Structure 1
């Protein structure tokens, strides 16, 4: 690859990232319906053709923004690395909850706002996000929950456990527009909130695991 071609690729990637960041900021404050391609182009400092060239249109750009937003919440590569490490399952769950809380409560969080908007008022784009991004990440989280509870991965009870662990995280994600007393909870120190979520989740998961093991013994 010659220098001119390499420079063109670098410039093109920089333009793509600038469009993505500008779109994320606008979608997070105005919503998808109210954000035009023209507004995104103006903020990004590009022409409309650049949006179509890099993303294929506003709809595909929004889907890319959702995927980027969820990756900033928790990247698949981070989950994969966590699963390959030597941490016990309970500690892995703590790391997952810690990462989510730190991301949600960060100052640079347009990704949180755009996800909160989409989850609070789901569109057809949410299915795309689940299919291309979230589903693969849930495999790792289910592995952790299965290891804690002893519930097999093909048991529907494991999905109920996932829902029980994930629901407080979803509440935290969309809590910015909630009134008191929810705001009191979300404004507590991060370390205290992480500890509570972990202890609460572990208590429920361990109890469910014990109950399922007892039921299995009785069925013999």
Structure 2
């Protein structure tokens, strides 16, 4: 008696592997978005334009980043990294014992001309964000700004011989680092036209260091005097 033909087992569903170009596409979108946000700002830049410029499908932004907002958050963090990353700051200060020399090396690296080579879009993105903070500014602060601030606060605390959470240390960070940030993000044409004597050379940096360290020394002296007059021992960092 002939046997009934065996039924074929259903084919297993194909295993979906990650596209080999996924990381490259994500990087391309991030780079393209940085350029678009730098040109148009957060409010006027669209996912459609970013995808068209990148030559990717319209759904690419949502696929790789979840949303335009999440993409902009990544752009902000990358923009801050382009200016200077916390890893760079740790590297340039590694092996230096004197906190003043560490501070000098750190600021010198921040203002290095190589950091502005090619005028990357990060400077323009950060400048836009400084002038008109968007809804994702808190993410930038938490993920990009705070780690660097913690490093610099530690150095200033050592120089002032005060704890890092002391208000004077936090104010000193603003006084010391904010001029450097402005020198980095302000378009180069502005100081050239308004203050042509500032050539951006080594003498500018040396004068900056004179101001920074004279200010830190004055703060340290003032708080030592204040502590002695109040008979309050200074807490060491």
Q: Same fold (TM over 0.5)?
A: yes
Aligned to 2:3: none
| The one of 54, 77, 83 aligned to 1:73 | 83
Q: Structure 2 matches for 1:24-35, cutoff 5 A?
A: 24-35=34-45
Q: Structure 2 matches for 1:34-73, cutoff 5 A?
A: 34-73=44-83
| Number of aligned residue pairs | 215
User: Could you give the per-residue CA deviations for residues 144-182 of structure 1, whole angstroms, max 9, x where no partner exists?
Assistant: 111111121121111111111122123224422885687
The 8 Å contact of residues 120 and 174 in structure 1, kept in 2 or not, is answered as: no
Q: Does 1:203 align with 2:206?
A: no
Counterpart-to-counterpart distance in 2, 1:169 and 1:39: 34
The change in CA–CA distance for 1:53 and 1:14 in structure 2 (over 3 A counts) is same
| The one of 129, 132, 141 aligned to 1:121 | 132
Counterpart-to-counterpart distance in 1, 2:30 and 2:103: 31
Aligned to 1:217: 228
SS at 2:174 equivalent: helix
The 8 Å contact of residues 96 and 102 in structure 2, kept in 1 or not, is answered as: no
Following superposition, the deviation at residue 187 of structure 1 comes to 5.5
Structure 1 unaligned regions, length at least 5 = none
User: Could you give the per-residue CA deviations for residues 172-209 of structure 1, whole angstroms, max 9, x where no partner exists?
Assistant: 24422885687426962342332222221111011111
Higher Cα Rg, which structure:
2
TM-score scaled to structure 2, two decimals? 0.80
Following superposition, the deviation at residue 84 of structure 1 comes to 4.5
Q: Does 1:141 align with 2:152?
A: yes
Following superposition, the deviation at residue 5 of structure 1 comes to 5.8
Decide which moves more: 46-55 or 86-95. Answer: 86-95
The 8 Å contact of residues 123 and 184 in structure 2, kept in 1 or not, is answered as: yes
- Greater helix content: 1
| The one of 143, 150, 167 aligned to 2:161 | 150
Structure 2 unaligned regions, length at least 5 = 1-15, 232-237
The change in CA–CA distance for 1:86 and 1:204 in structure 2 (over 3 A counts) is same
- Aligned-residue RMSD, C-alpha: 2.5
The change in CA–CA distance for 1:185 and 1:199 in structure 2 (over 3 A counts) is farther
